[in-house]
């Protein structure tokens, strides 16, 4: 898909070299083409990881067994630690085999230090007979470069090429786990993510067939977040404005990772969006724009802010409902 160039982008191309001398910003070398960007990554057809071979048992309870795993990412970065995808896999005792079962992948928010939040939901859903996994997204948790402290937020350079690569890697990593589950015979394959994980889940849902997806306060428009919120430092945002990089210009360069430019491969009935009306992080209006672009799937708006929504009973409710409906659909097909 070739997007029209905003006038500000044409002006920016003229001053690219002089601007680079004063601003630590790097734009992609080529104009963005949404289809070409994702076709190059072969999200739905690349080699599958041998996830089963890396499983290591951590514990076994009456509810089931918990394993850890790790596999090489198909998308390589300069930081070796970021090229290994670690995760946890929760296997219910009542449905130890994945064949014809339900599989759900959970994707965490930006800046998560550990997977405790995802683990809590995974254990709860495991007790309900659902196979659940969660992974560390690029440059997060165990994938942080050594020079970055464990308690620090991931440092994103003002480099849009790097940002595109990071999100492309996140989508490939998540999709590979979901494709592995499908290959193992899972009857229903689902994804759920919050904030940054919600964006990754949305992009995954546009690249491979899924039975259901839950997007919780997804970062639906990174251009808006960069221009108006704290995705970059305030100094970089100020420099962006001074250089004329408006939200419209950022939307042009980041077009491949704006889910409004793509369409989901999951059925409309299987899509759910959980939004916070007073969300100042990803923007409530930006989430509504995604909801409209995707044909108005199930939308639940809670009267909370961004962080509080993660601890709302609504999140637990929608995870339960999504997995339960998939179980019913699966039983109806057998």
Q: pLDDT of 19-59, one tens digit each?
A: 343 345 666 766 689 999 999 999 999 899 999 999 999 99
Per residue in 215-236, pLDDT (tens digit) is: 999 999 999 988 877 656 666 6
Q: What is the three-class DSSP state of 281?
A: coil
pLDDT over 80 (residue 7)? no
* Predicted local distance difference test score (pLDDT) of residue 148: 55
pLDDT digits (tens, 9 = 90+) for 98-156: 888 999 999 999 988 889 999 999 999 999 999 999 999 999 999 998 755 544 545 45
Least confident of 33-37, 94-98, 209-213: 94-98
Give dist(CA 269, CA 164) in Å, integer. 30
Q: Is the pLDDT confidence value at 211 over 90?
A: yes
The reported pLDDT for the residue numbered 235 is 67
Can you give the pLDDT at residue 267? 93
Query: What residues does each domain of the chain span?
Result: 7-50+90-110+117-130+155-333
Instruction: Return d(Cα 267, Cα 252) in angstroms, integer.
Output: 28
Mean of pLDDT values over 57-75: 96
Whether pLDDT at 260 is above 70: yes
Q: Give the count of beta carbons closer than 10 Å to the beta carbon of residue 91.
A: 22
Of the candidates 306, 300, 302, the residue with the CA atom closest to the CA atom of residue 280: 306
pLDDT of residue 270: 95
Q: Six-digit token pair at 311?
A: 């601890």
For 7-50+90-110+117-130+155-333, CATH number out of 3.40.1370.10, 3.30.70.20, 3.40.710.10, 3.40.50.1820 equals 3.40.50.1820
- The answer to whether the CB of 196 falls within 8 A of the CB of 185 is no
CA distance to 75, 82, 124, 146, 175, per residue, from 42 (Å): 11, 20, 33, 30, 10
At residue 265's C-alpha, the angle toward residues 172 and 128, to 5°, is: 80
Band (243; pLDDT cuts 50, 70, 90): low
Q: Which residues contact 81 (CB under 8 A, 6 or more apart)?
A: 142, 143, 144, 145, 146
Q: Please, what is the average pLDDT of the chain?
A: 85
* Interatomic CA distance for residues 183 and 314, integer angstroms: 32
Tokens of 119: 């683990």
Average pLDDT over every residue of 268-283: 94
* β-bridge partners, 87: 69, 135
Residue 256: burial class (beta carbons within 10 Å; 0-12, 13-18, 19+):
buried
Angle formed by the axes of helices 116-126 and 313-333, to 10°? 40
Indicate if the pLDDT at residue 1 is higher than 60. Answer: no
Mean pLDDT calculated for residue range 177-182: 97
Token pair 């499983």 is at which residue? 55
Report pTM: 0.87
pLDDT of residue 6: 40
């Amino acid at each position: 898909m070739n997007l029209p160039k905003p006038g500000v982008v044409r002006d920016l191309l003229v001053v690219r070299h002089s601007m680079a001398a004063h601003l630590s910003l790097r734009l992609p070398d080529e104009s963005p083409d949404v289809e070409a960007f994702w076709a190059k990554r072969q999200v739905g057809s690349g080699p599958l990881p041998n996830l089963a071979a890396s499983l290591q048992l951590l514990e076994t309870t009456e509810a089931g067994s918990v394993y850890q795993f790790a596999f090489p990412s198909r998308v390589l970065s300069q930081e070796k630690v970021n090229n290994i995808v670690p995760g946890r896999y929760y296997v219910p005792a009542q449905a130890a085999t994945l064949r014809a079962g339900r599989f759900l992948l959970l994707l965490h928010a930006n800046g998560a230090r550990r997977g405790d939040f995802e683990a809590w939901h995974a254990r709860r859903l495991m007790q309900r007979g659902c196979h659940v996994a969660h992974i560390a997204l690029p440059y997060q948790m165990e994938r942080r470069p050594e020079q970055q402290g464990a308690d620090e937020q991931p440092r994103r350079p003002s480099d849009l090429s790097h940002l595109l690569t990071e999100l492309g890697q996140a989508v490939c990593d998540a999709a590979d786990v979901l494709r592995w589950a499908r290959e193992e015979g899972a009857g229903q394959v689902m994804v759920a993510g919050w904030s940054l994980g919600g964006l990754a889940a949305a992009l995954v849902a546009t690249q491979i067939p899924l039975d259901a997806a839950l997007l919780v306060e997804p970062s639906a428009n990174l251009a808006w977040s960069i221009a108006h919120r704290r995705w970059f430092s305030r100094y970089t945002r100020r420099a962006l404005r001074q250089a004329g990089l408006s939200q419209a210009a950022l939307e042009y360069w980041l077009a491949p990772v704006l889910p409004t430019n793509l369409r989901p491969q999951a059925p409309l009935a299987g899509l759910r969006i959980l939004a916070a009306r007073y969300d100042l992080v990803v923007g409530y209006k930006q989430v509504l724009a995604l909801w409209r672009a995707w044909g108005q799937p199930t939308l639940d708006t809670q009267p909370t802010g961004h962080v509080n929504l993660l601890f709302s009973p609504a999140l637990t409710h929608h995870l339960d409902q999504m997995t339960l409906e998939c179980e019913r659909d699966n039983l109806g097909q057998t």
